[in-house]
Amino acid sequence: MKRYAVFGHPVLHSLSPKIHRTFGQQSGIELDYVAIECAPGDFAAALSSFAKSGGQGANVTLPHKQRAAELCNLLSNRARRAGAVNTLIRHDNGWLGDNTDGVGLVRDLTGRQGLDLRGRRTLLLGAGGAARGVAPALLEAGVGDVFVVNRDSTKADALIDQLGEPGRMHARYFDDLGTLGEFDLILNATSATRHGTLPTLPMSLVGPRTAAVDLSYGEAAIPFLAWARAAHAHTTVDGLGMLVEQAAESFFLWHGVRPDTDPVYTELQARHAALITAD
CB–CB of 38/68 below 8 Å? no
Q: Is 59 annotated as a binding residue?
A: no
Q: Is 16 annotated as a binding residue?
A: yes
Which listed residue (2, 18, 52, 65) is catalytic?
65
CA–CA distance, 98 with 89 (Å, rounded to integer): 8
Q: Is 127 annotated as a binding residue?
A: yes
Q: Is 130 annotated as a binding residue?
A: yes
CB–CB of 225/213 below 8 Å? no
For residue 37, which of 3, 60, 65, 69 has the smallest C-alpha distance?
Answer: 60
DSSP H or E stretch at residue 21: helix 16-27
Q: Is 126 annotated as a binding residue?
A: yes
Q: Which residues contact 16 (CB under 8 A, 6 or more apart)?
A: 6, 33, 35, 59, 61, 243, 247
Characterize 236-261 residue by residue with b for buried, 16 or more Cβ atoms within 10 angstroms of its Cβ, and e for exposed.
bbbbbbbbbbbbbbbbebbbeeebeb
Q: Is 142 annotated as a binding residue?
A: no
Q: Is 217 annotated as a binding residue?
A: yes
Q: Is 49 annotated as a binding residue?
A: no
Q: Is 61 annotated as a binding residue?
A: yes
Q: For this structure, is 52 an active site residue?
A: no
Binding site members: 14-16, 61, 86, 101, 126-130, 215, 217, 239, 246
Binding site members for NADP(+): 126-130, 215, 239
Residues with active-site annotation: 65
Binding site members for shikimate: 14-16, 61, 86, 101, 217, 246
